[in-house]
Amino acid sequence: MADPLQQLVCKSPGIMAHPGLPTIWVEAVLLAMLLLAGWMLWRPQRAIVTSGGAQSLAGWPVIGPWMKQALTRPWTLVILRLITAAIFLLVIYAGLFGSPLAERNIATVLTWSLWWTGLIMSVYFVGSAWCAICPWDAIATWLVRRRLWGRGEETASLNLRVPRLIRNVWPAWWMFIGLTWLELGLGITTSPYMTAILALVILVLTTVSLAVFERKAFCRYFCSVGRTVGVYSELSPIALRPIDPDICARCKTLECYHGTETIEPCPTHLVMGRLKENTYCTSCGACTQSCPYQNIAWSARPTGEEAMHTARPHWDAAWFILGLVALTSFHGLSMLPGWEQWMRSLAHAIGDSGQLLWSFTIGMAGSLLVPAALFSLAVFVTWKLIGKALPYQRLFALLAIATLPLAFAYHLAHNINHMVREGKGASSVLLNPLGSGTLPMTEAEMHLRHLQPLVQQDILFALQAGLLVFGFWLAMRILRHRMVALMGTTVLNKTLLLPMLVFISSITLFNLWLLMQPMIMRM
């Protein structure tokens, strides 16, 4: 048997990488995909049955009364916002004035190895709750409104309406692409200073937006983090919803939308009684505090039910979802040992030099275009098979949501690897957040840290394999329900599913191949 240290060494001298998914787990994923695909194609489709709405947690013993207190009183959110804001400011300070060593500075370790993975993981369990305690929004609100909580003065902002041209998620889509380019192209994940600068830039954008536009336009239209949380939360079994829908139906004053004298209106222009999807809900607590009937609470529903039945993504949201599918896979692709060689070969062909940014940009653009082209083709074939029963763009948007679990599953499967390996030394970083007096990690230290992750390696592999199977299964369920609803019949021609089944399988197999490869360490 080979020395386990060799599992972390690539063929390129001096480069260490995480080991890829073992063959036994790859075979298990392939078998599960085969069985699930067979189930999808041959199992009769039953009539669509929803759960009858979300089941409020407010009536649960013990947790129910506590939840009502937490949701209807501002102190819970204020305290949590103060905590996240304090951590955010520590990250800024450490990044600007601490050690430049990524693995020794809390700015990079917390942001890239712990927070981002933890954030995506939290979406499944608490929906869009992160947006409620987001430090960018919290600090910007305090600066502009000049209050810790409650409704600020009308003169605190210009309250301009967002121009119609950008009243969509295209700005967030471009911001997501830009952040990915900065993260992977310029390598800010390995620079505490650049990490702090990026965090400050986003804070400035949030503050300026709040001071110029009405409500919280940055959260609604511009923030790629918030929009990622928003679309992923469509898969979550947790959401803020009315306790009794009839009370909302009879309500004429709509405090949840307009606010009150002391509580701000919904920051993203939502009416709770009409809310069907989580995408733009920031769980900010404004509606729970302003509702005179205390009729809003966290509710439970089956996983993915919103994506299967009620979500209605538009053209812009569909492209954001496709961007997630492409860019999550691109993160893995750009961390393969062979990526740098591919970029050097491309740079030689086009005459690129220096940091190879042109080559990287071309590689990233290709990684975006290929999945988009394949999906567009799958939708086109489906469109022809159904006899052009509805506009192509509408079908494109309806089927895009079936790909969302693919992005979510690989996003977690990839990032959890970094979290459990690179997070191994997080305790020492927390004790010395600025990395004062530290030296770069030796090769032996890096080997030891990555061979002793936070969880056993076999458990990690099982989690990664399980996530891919989960994503494939949920994508197929959403596809089946969407197609049945589209065709208006429970007797579905399985041929109609084949184009999208091929696309879903192709993305899953590519992501599986990525997980099989050794992945270069970031820090």
**What is the arithmetic mean of pLDDT over 417-437?**
85
Choose the weakest-confidence range: 24-33, 298-307, 405-414, 470-479: 298-307
Which span out of 418-422, 428-432, 452-456 was modeled with the highest average pLDDT?
428-432
**Distances from the Cα of 267 to the Cα of 218, 258, 386, angstroms:** 10, 10, 40
pLDDT at 397 over 90: yes
The candidate with the shortest Cα–Cα distance to 381, out of 523, 478, 498, is 498
- Residues 177, 368 contacting (CB under 8 angstroms): yes
**pLDDT per position as a tens digit, 353-390:** 777 889 999 999 999 999 999 999 999 999 999 998 88
3-class DSSP state of 163: coil
**pLDDT per position as a tens digit, 2-19:** 344 344 444 444 456 778
Q: Which amino acid is at 112?
A: W
- Residues 150, 74 contacting (CB under 8 angstroms): yes
Q: How would DSSP label each residue in 417-460?
A: HHHHHHGGGHHHHHHSTT-TT--PPPHHHHHHHHHS-SS-HHHH
State residue 12's pLDDT score: 42
**Structure pTM?**
0.92
**pLDDT per position as a tens digit, 103-139:** 899 999 999 989 999 999 999 999 999 999 999 999 9
Residue 336 has which token pair? 């393969």
> Alpha-carbon distance 471 to 411, whole Å?
10
Q: Give domain limits for the chain.
A: 16-45+312-520, 55-307
The candidate with the shortest Cα–Cα distance to 447, out of 423, 473, 471, 421, is 421
**What is the arithmetic mean of pLDDT over 89-110?**
95
Which residues sit opposite 238 in a β-bridge? 300
State residue 10's pLDDT score: 45
pLDDT at 450 over 80: no
Tokens 């299964």 belong to residue: 473
> Alpha-carbon distance 114 to 107, whole Å?
11
State residue 51's pLDDT score: 52
Helix or strand run (H / E) with residue 257: helix 255-258
The DSSP secondary-structure symbol of 16 reads: B
State residue 16's pLDDT score: 65
Residue count (the chain)? 523
Residue 182: pLDDT band with limits 50, 70, 90: very high
